[in-house]
Chains A and B, each alone.
Chain A
């Protein structure tokens, strides 16, 4: 077996060590605060690369059952923490360690002036460790540990600038809403455990594939849907997507790392990992119920988020809604089963690259605009796109890389997003035309809002600001330092090139199919067989590509082009002066509807209900409090006092009787000793006298006895 796979358990260990060092010695590291996490991440990247190379070997066998801890036993079934490496895990490891490492490096520049930067790096490191545990795990328990770990780090990092009250609330919102999903996931896990008695993926898959009775199958479907609620929270699916845009309150590298490239992808990863479970029933009696749910909700998410993204003015929030929308794409693709699985996973990977690129680019823009505003003493929102414009001239590197990211996201031909999105649309239109239609509409909106953003931020002329003295002038904006732009360039290269893996060469499909075949329980193998029938070898693939109906490719090209053209017509031909002239305002009521997030930020309408509930709970709590005080506490106190009194009595007995006897023995001994020691005068003559008298006495006694005996 490959050495890298044997040592794969080290992958989460390295970032965790980085976390420990930064937590305990962070302040002592001074300017080297970034070193332990980045070194740790580099170590993980090396091993991950080894694992990736191992999986690329055509003779590679899925490495599972590497147990490193036998944790607990439930009903004599051991629950192991183990890891497995297959193509899916290797791909995800690369995404996390490679993109994560670049974002770490970028953060060195972005957080350079923050007083708590060492802590920031500690959190990043802990996050990476948790995410890698999640990816590597071969069972629900390990996965859940990583799952909660990334949630916790997400909370820390969103609330990193906790001095601002809004930031605190955003962090809490993100934490609570994702917890809501986790509760569902935990229920699903319990149900699966109570059905199958296993918590490792292989065991669960084998059990699911047996399909013992109708009832059991139904319960497995139910548990799959419960488990899916976890990803709904974590991967921001409708209607729990509302936390993700608010999570943009955190520093931008966090948005890039957690809320675009990795953590939110964990939900998609989970569905992909559990695909044999979700696909129960697929390919024998049509598409499975869990996948249907996943698919439709994903498509709905894609559309809802895209419409909100169209009307948003905050550079990061547009990207956030686009993330939600793209996550919807991935879920919808997975929900289409079969080829959609490959397409969804592939989109997961390409999206990680270009969304990290976009977020880091937006961070670079915000960083620069903030400094420009600060220097010019202008007080305005540095994230509002209407305060930007014309940045292509003064931020060349950022502009070019951002353009690549935007084109990739919009599905411009030959870029990463084009191949994966085209693949998704193709399978969605084949398998479920309704989902396909929704996704095509979302893809059109994606192209439109990215064009809008590009023109608002980089196009036209720089906007002028009033400095408070009646003078209007431009900001002096400089491009970000190399430590920030180099990661942008690397990500841009990958955003350009990585699509070639799936599009023309089909390397990715074969890699993934082989991995699926080896999944336990046969579900994956059936699925792989299904896929093989369409793509067997590369020549056949080419034939299939030539003969497949041309409409999906045409549709994806068409929607993207329409989006681009519409965006250009509205924003590009002539610079829109201010927000009040924003063309999307012409949508009227729809604009208000989208602007208010479809009224989905759903706790707001519930405020009166919440207040009533709070009053009710308060009353109940008060009653409970009185009961507690008067009944329970009184009982407890009586018991306590009785015990106290009894113990006093025992104390007296102890002191006077038990201790008294013991003391008496000691005292008597001492008294006798005191008396008898007077005999020792220390005078030799006294002793001699006693001896003499004693001898004389003995003589007398013996004489008398002898005399008596003689008589």
Chain B
């Protein structure tokens, strides 16, 4: 039986982040892209909590900055997702599609 340590969390976090990053770059469906952002943010959250637990609290058990930061990230992520969904709905209403590779309004 081995003990689960900091590195395990970091590996999990890195794997989640990579999956999220790949999805954000490769998926065509805009909703999927948003979901992948969530994955990446959550990977970061795991990272933050893990460091808080294993590094900061090892020094001083009363330090909760990492946890608080994770909670903040979750709040911001929720707000960001709601704005993203609103954008997607508007794009869908105006252009009848939500595939990001077909939306090139920023083109020259």
Q: B105 touches which one: A677, A682, A685, A688 (CB < 8 A)?
A: A682
Check if B101 sits within 8 Å of A685, measured CB to CB: yes
Interface flag for A680 (CB, 8 Å)? yes
Interface string of A676-697 (1 = CB under 8 A from B): 0110111111001100100000
Check if B108 sits within 8 Å of A688, measured CB to CB: no
Measured CB to CB, the nearest residue on chain A to B26 is A685
Check if B108 sits within 8 Å of A683, measured CB to CB: no
Q: A682 touches which one: B25, B33, B107 (CB < 8 A)?
A: B107
Q: Which residues of B contact A688 (CB under 8 A)?
A: 24-25
Interface flag for B78 (CB, 8 Å)? no
Q: Which residues of A contact B103 (CB under 8 A)?
A: 682-684
Check if A683 sits within 8 Å of B100, measured CB to CB: yes
Q: How far is the CA of A685 from the CA of B106 in the complex (A)?
A: 12
Check if B25 sits within 8 Å of A684, measured CB to CB: no
Q: Which residues of A contact B107 (CB under 8 A)?
A: 680-683
Q: B100 touches which one: A677, A678, A685, A692 (CB < 8 A)?
A: A685
Q: How far, in Å, is A672 (CB) from chain B's closest CB?
A: 14
Interface flag for B96 (CB, 8 Å)? no
Check if A683 sits within 8 Å of B104, measured CB to CB: yes
Q: Which residues of A contact B100 (CB under 8 A)?
A: 683-685
Q: How far is the CA of A677 from the CA of B108 in the complex (A)?
A: 7
Q: How far is the CA of A692 from the CA of B23 in the complex (A)?
A: 13
8 Å CB contacts to B: which residues of A568-615? none
Q: Which residues of B contact A681 (CB under 8 A)?
A: 104, 107
Q: How far, in Å, is B88 (CB) from chain A's closest CB?
A: 12
Number of A interface residues at 8 Å Cβ cutoff, please give it: 11
Q: Which residues of A contact B108 (CB under 8 A)?
A: 677-678, 680, 682
8 Å CB contacts to A: which residues of B74-108? 100-101, 103-108
Q: How far, in Å, is B19 (CB) from chain A's closest CB?
A: 14
Interface string of A692-711 (1 = CB under 8 A from B): 10000000000000000000
Q: Which residues of B contact A689 (CB under 8 A)?
A: 25
Q: How far is the CA of A650 from the CA of B33 in the complex (A)?
A: 65
Q: A680 touches which one: B24, B33, B101, B106 (CB < 8 A)?
A: B106
Q: B104 touches which one: A677, A678, A682, A692 (CB < 8 A)?
A: A682
Interface flag for B44 (CB, 8 Å)? no
Q: How far, in Å, is B33 (CB) from chain A's closest CB?
A: 8
Q: How far is the CA of A681 from the CA of B100 in the complex (A)?
A: 12
Q: How far is the CA of A681 from the CA of B105 in the complex (A)?
A: 9
Q: Which residues of B contact A682 (CB under 8 A)?
A: 103-108
Q: Which residues of A contact B21 (CB under 8 A)?
A: 692
Q: Which residues of A contact B106 (CB under 8 A)?
A: 680, 682-684
Q: Given A680-B106, A680-B108, A682-B108, are A692 and B101 neighbors across the interface (CB < 8 Å)? A: no
Check if B25 sits within 8 Å of A685, measured CB to CB: yes
Check if B25 sits within 8 Å of A692, measured CB to CB: yes
Q: Which residues of A contact B105 (CB under 8 A)?
A: 682
Q: How far is the CA of A685 from the CA of B21 in the complex (A)?
A: 11
Interface string of A541-567 (1 = CB under 8 A from B): 000000000000000000000000000
8 Å CB contacts to A: which residues of B36-60? none
Q: How far is the CA of A689 from the CA of B103 in the complex (A)?
A: 16
Measured CB to CB, the nearest residue on chain B to A689 is B25
Number of B interface residues at 8 Å Cβ cutoff, please give it: 13
Q: Which residues of B contact A683 (CB under 8 A)?
A: 100-101, 103-104, 106-107
Q: Which residues of B contact A684 (CB under 8 A)?
A: 100, 103, 106
Q: How far, in Å, is A541 (CB) from chain B's closest CB?
A: 112
Q: How far is the CA of A683 from the CA of B25 in the complex (A)?
A: 11
Q: How far is the CA of A688 from the CA of B107 in the complex (A)?
A: 15
Measured CB to CB, the nearest residue on chain A to B105 is A682
Measured CB to CB, the nearest residue on chain A to B30 is A684
Q: Which of B100, B107, B108 has the most CB of A within 10 A?
A: B108
Measured CB to CB, the nearest residue on chain B to A673 is B108
Interface string of B1-38 (1 = CB under 8 A from A): 00000000000000000000100111000000100000
Q: How far, in Å, is A495 (CB) from chain B's closest CB?
A: 101
Q: How far, in Å, is B80 (CB) from chain A's closest CB?
A: 14
Q: How far, in Å, is A694 (CB) from chain B's closest CB?
A: 13
Q: How far, in Å, is B97 (CB) from chain A's closest CB?
A: 13
Q: How far, in Å, is A692 (CB) from chain B's closest CB?
A: 6
Q: How far, in Å, is A143 (CB) from chain B's closest CB?
A: 82
Q: How far, in Å, is A253 (CB) from chain B's closest CB?
A: 87
Q: Which residues of A contact B26 (CB under 8 A)?
A: 685
Measured CB to CB, the nearest residue on chain A to B33 is A685
Measured CB to CB, the nearest residue on chain A to B27 is A685
Q: Which residues of A contact B104 (CB under 8 A)?
A: 681-683
Q: How far, in Å, is B9 (CB) from chain A's closest CB?
A: 20
Q: How far is the CA of A681 from the CA of B106 in the complex (A)?
A: 7
Q: Which residues of B contact A692 (CB under 8 A)?
A: 21, 25
Q: How far, in Å, is B106 (CB) from chain A's closest CB?
A: 4
Q: Which residues of B contact A680 (CB under 8 A)?
A: 106-108
Q: Which of A677, A680, A683, A689 has the most CB of B within 10 A?
A: A683
Q: How far, in Å, is A35 (CB) from chain B's closest CB?
A: 76
Q: How far is the CA of A689 from the CA of B25 in the complex (A)?
A: 6
Q: How far, in Å, is A693 (CB) from chain B's closest CB?
A: 10
Q: How far is the CA of A678 from the CA of B103 in the complex (A)?
A: 16
Q: How far is the CA of A681 from the CA of B33 in the complex (A)?
A: 18
Q: How far is the CA of A685 from the CA of B100 in the complex (A)?
A: 7
Q: How far, in Å, is B29 (CB) from chain A's closest CB?
A: 12
Q: How far, in Å, is A685 (CB) from chain B's closest CB?
A: 6
Q: How far, in Å, is B13 (CB) from chain A's closest CB?
A: 16
Q: How far is the CA of A692 from the CA of B21 in the complex (A)?
A: 9
Q: How far, in Å, is B37 (CB) from chain A's closest CB?
A: 10
Q: How far, in Å, is B90 (CB) from chain A's closest CB?
A: 15
Q: How far is the CA of A18 from the CA of B24 in the complex (A)?
A: 93
Q: How far is the CA of A442 from the CA of B53 in the complex (A)?
A: 147
Q: How far is the CA of A680 from the CA of B108 in the complex (A)?
A: 6
Measured CB to CB, the nearest residue on chain B to A677 is B108
Q: Which residues of A contact B101 (CB under 8 A)?
A: 683, 685
Q: How far is the CA of A689 from the CA of B105 in the complex (A)?
A: 18
Q: Which residues of B contact A677 (CB under 8 A)?
A: 108
Q: Which of A678, A684, A689, A692 has the most CB of B within 10 A?
A: A684
Q: How far is the CA of A692 from the CA of B25 in the complex (A)?
A: 9
8 Å CB contacts to B: which residues of A201-226? none
Q: How far is the CA of A685 from the CA of B25 in the complex (A)?
A: 6
Q: How far, in Å, is A557 (CB) from chain B's closest CB?
A: 117
Q: How far is the CA of A677 from the CA of B106 in the complex (A)?
A: 12
| Contact sample, A vs B, 14 pairs, CB 8 Å cutoff | A680-B106, A680-B108, A681-B104, A682-B107, A683-B100, A683-B104, A683-B107, A685-B25, A685-B26, A685-B33, A685-B101, A688-B24, A688-B25, A692-B25
Known: A680-B106, A680-B108, A681-B107. 20 other contacts (CB 8 A): A678-B108, A680-B107, A681-B104, A682-B104, A682-B105, A682-B107, A682-B108, A683-B100, A683-B101, A683-B103, A684-B100, A684-B103, A684-B106, A685-B24, A685-B25, A685-B33, A685-B101, A688-B24, A689-B25, A692-B25
**In the A-B complex, the 9 residue pairs with the closest CB atoms:** A682-B107, A682-B104, A682-B106, A677-B108, A680-B108, A689-B25, A683-B104, A685-B100, A685-B25
